[in-house]
Structure 1
């Protein structure tokens, strides 16, 4: 999870904790970083205007002195279950950590009866997703896509050949159950489709993309459609 996403998720974690708050150790475990990193993040949130409180000693920790909540969400148990199932099924998809954070925000303000019913039903939905890139790799690819900068990748292709590529990200595509990155490969000077599960390392650069348009990829499959809400 990149720092921007972590700061947002950290804010939501403190909101959920309410007046109880969370310790730096608990937050560090939740986000798989050090307590020192958490304290730096909390300081950054406070500088940004978030009303963070801190208590020392037994029972101490961090929380929000005042927090707003989403208005009541009138989801049915089936709708809540559908949301949870969709997020679970998208575990290998781009921005999946943001999807989980968004789902938690909705479920946290769900009617308690509907929430309990959805929890019970969730055991009747099984999800088995295929392999994908590590979260560290996905963070780099997602940030490069958002900022429209190139990404340096170590790629292991289907013929077991490993190459170093600088790629201009154009589209994330789900095809046949596999998530792919479609981009302009500066090594091959052409558009290439990269299986995300074969990307071993990735680092977003500061080099702006040249402006290749999505239309250059060609005509998408007839059943393909953009992820428009």
Structure 2
């Protein structure tokens, strides 16, 4: 197939019926050339439906199986290497389908190409997964496709909590799956294996994605926070701060007050290293809290 024929496929995928004359004008070729192109597309497995007559034309049938990919030998090897890499990601969404795609396509390969793939597979090594699994919740995929906001029942360190989220997407970070969404407290990250239940909310979603997330963050004043934190502290902060091995985060400046309250609850499990102003702010808050508690104790003794 040539470039024009690939463009014809994209044009007909719009689902509209188009006459040979219009297609000839669109692609600057003769009607006879368009007719030959349609014969080539049909021979390559594309379900082209033609309607004769003045009001007739060509259209692509909907709800069809995709035609086989036409790949070079090198492109086929690259495809299988990519499928092999994806297969190393634990709990990958559509993981069973990935395996089925690889097996079905492998059955069509010539022996020489198959042997090349086997040799190349021995030349690649993928890092072994060294963290517990984070099994996917199929309801999260349904939520992302629904166009609705969602109600998430989430397992926190203090118990279960119901949270309304405007869904953004799934992210694989540090060998775990995380679900991102916008809540009434801003942008949040949720560990997928701690999502206990998902249901649709009445409100429509805002069709957010990771590009919107990154764009939104570029217009927000940010402060760099660096913490020294214990393993227990990391667990207590899940859902508040994204998982980071370096323990350094870019935080919207307007959320520092909220973050400060969360850090105060952790006590000795966390220590602020940077910035100094934020650390001093927490020290002042702690001193004020101690002063209040001492005042209460004195008040009780006086009574």
TM-score by length of 1: 0.49
TM-score by length of 2: 0.39
| Structure number with higher helix proportion | 2
Instruction: Flag the structure with more relative contact order, 1 or 2, with Cα contacts below 8 A and sequence separation at least 6.
Output: 1
Q: Which of 1 and 2 has greater Rg?
A: 2
